[in-house]
Amino acid sequence: MNSDALIAALNRFSIELPSWGFANTGTRFGKFLQAAAATNIEEKLSDAGQVHAFTGICPSVAVHVLWDFPEGPAQADRVSALAQRYHVRIGAINPNLFQDQEYKFGSFGNPEERVRRKALAHCLESIAIARKTGSRDLSLWFADGSNYPGTAGIGQRKKWFEQYLAEVHAQLDPNQRLLVEYKPFEPAFYHTDIADWGMALHFARAAGPRAKVLVDTGHHYLSQNIEQIVAWLLAEEMLGGFHFNDRRYADDDLTLGSIDPYQVFRIFHEIIDFERETGSPADIAYMIDQSHNLKGKIEAMIQTAVVAQQLWAQAALVDSVALRQARQNSDVIRAESCLQDAFATDVRPMIREWRAARGLPPDPLEAFRRSGYLERITKERAEKNADGSGAYA
């Protein structure tokens, strides 16, 4: 094991937590309430601070404007101060373009100009929030689409998206980025306006030079080769970030690595392989996007961060010299073995040493369970959560 390479990889890896992952969530059929779920932005940031305190790799928190900033930009300074109190910072800003009743037939793709303008105004307000919180990334996901043939002008909607994304991009500060996410289906099942990485790539390029593509690992058809998409976007310098989760069928929003950890490893390998080829780090925002219906919120986040760190470390152990030689010689067995050997390596002892050197507990999840924090917040929040007030939507 190349310990120097592993330590270097661990030192530069971090992953962003989603504020909504600490609140009560559910399925389209209902929500399963947890007594300890966060009910407001301060509780979410407090919980996120616990994850970072025990793992050391989650310094930022992505926020949803509608759920976390109901007062808009006026709330930004207060939220930033809360984040600092809990030793995290505000990360990606996520506008909400799917929940209001006006968005029944879309946001940027809505046939009514009034609704399209409302969606644009919300995005510009989100940029203002990002400016005040010092956030770089504006992360856009659209539920826009249609469920029945002939009910939406697909070509016209494409033009509207090009227009309004460009208007959003024009208001970005020089240090800000626009991340365009895609999803093949749900809630629109006949057509979705940004249905795959190619559409997202087109819209990002049409928007402007600071727009990139965001890959949600759950937003793909079954058995799609996500690491190939990642490799292409890297080659085109258009990969901006990830929403990491896992799935058995589609957008299940399960915890990262719970179903197919080898896929996440392969994704990380493509990124590290690209960085070794180019000699420079890829500018990618790693973010978590999961729905913890059955698992405890904070424990699931700690589990996810730990698994992500392990998979990143394993990917860093791939012998790139041997791999390139095997590829050059068309040695299929040896080339594949380079990945398999790294994936089979138990990196946990080295990660425990890395944690010890930084004053972190060797087992973050067990340390959190012994801390008493969960028992305290369960008592404090149980009454609020009994009626579902902690649900984010």
Give 122's contacts (C-beta < 8 A, 6+ positions apart).
65, 95, 96, 97
Q: Which two tokens stand for residue 225?
A: 């080769």
Q: Which two tokens stand for residue 366?
A: 């067990």
> Considering the chain, what is the average pLDDT of its residues?
96
Please give the span between the terminal C-alpha atoms of the chain, in angstroms, as a whole number: 46
**Rounded Cα gap, residues 188 and 182, in angstroms:** 12
**Rounded Cα gap, residues 141 and 171, in angstroms:** 18
CATH code of the region 3-386: 3.20.20.150
Tens of pLDDT, residue by residue over 149-194, are: 999 999 999 999 999 999 999 999 999 999 999 999 999 999 999 9
Q: Residue 300 above 90 pLDDT? A: yes
pLDDT of residue 1: 61
Q: Residue 390 above 60 pLDDT? A: no
Q: Which two tokens stand for residue 376?
A: 């305290």
pLDDT of residue 330: 98
Q: What is the CA radius of gyration of the chain?
A: 21
**Rounded Cα gap, residues 171 and 211, in angstroms:** 12
Element (DSSP H or E) covering residue 348 = helix 348-357
Phi, psi angle pair for 128, to nearest 5°: -60, -40
pLDDT of residue 26: 74
**Pairing mode of beta strands 145-146, 26-27:** unpaired
Question: What DSSP designation does 255 have?
Answer: P
pLDDT of residue 277: 95
Which residues are 181's β-sheet partners?
214
Q: Which two tokens stand for residue 302?
A: 């700690």
Q: Residue 391 above 60 pLDDT? A: no
3-state secondary structure of 368: helix
Q: Residue 199 above 90 pLDDT? A: yes
Q: Which two tokens stand for residue 145?
A: 């689409």
**Rounded Cα gap, residues 115 and 108, in angstroms:** 8
Tens of pLDDT, residue by residue over 227-246, are: 999 999 999 999 999 999 99
Q: What band does 31 get if pLDDT is binned at 50, 70 and 90?
A: confident
Q: Residue 202 above 60 pLDDT? A: yes
Q: Are 133 and 217 in contact, with CB atoms under 8 Å apart?
A: no
| Residue owning tokens 């094991």 | 1
Question: What DSSP designation does 181 have?
Answer: E
pLDDT of residue 65: 97
Mean pLDDT, rounded, for 112-126: 98
Question: What DSSP designation does 273 have?
Answer: H
Where do the structural domains in the chain lie, given as residue ranges?
3-386
pLDDT of residue 184: 98
3-state secondary structure 135-170: CCEEEECCCCEECCCCCCCHHHHHHHHHHHHHHHHH
Residue of 392, 382, 374, 386 whose CA lies nearest to 54: 374
Q: Are 120 and 163 in contact, with CB atoms under 8 Å apart?
A: no
Q: Classify residue 190 as exposed, middle or buried by CB count within 10 Å of its CB (0-12, 13-18, 19+).
A: middle
pLDDT of residue 132: 98
pLDDT of residue 389: 58
Q: Residue 48 above 80 pLDDT? A: yes
pLDDT of residue 392: 52
**Rounded Cα gap, residues 292 and 298, in angstroms:** 9
Tens of pLDDT, residue by residue over 332-362, are: 999 999 999 999 999 999 999 999 999 999 9
| Residue owning tokens 């394993």 | 314
pTM: 0.96
Phi, psi angle pair for 371, to nearest 5°: -75, -25
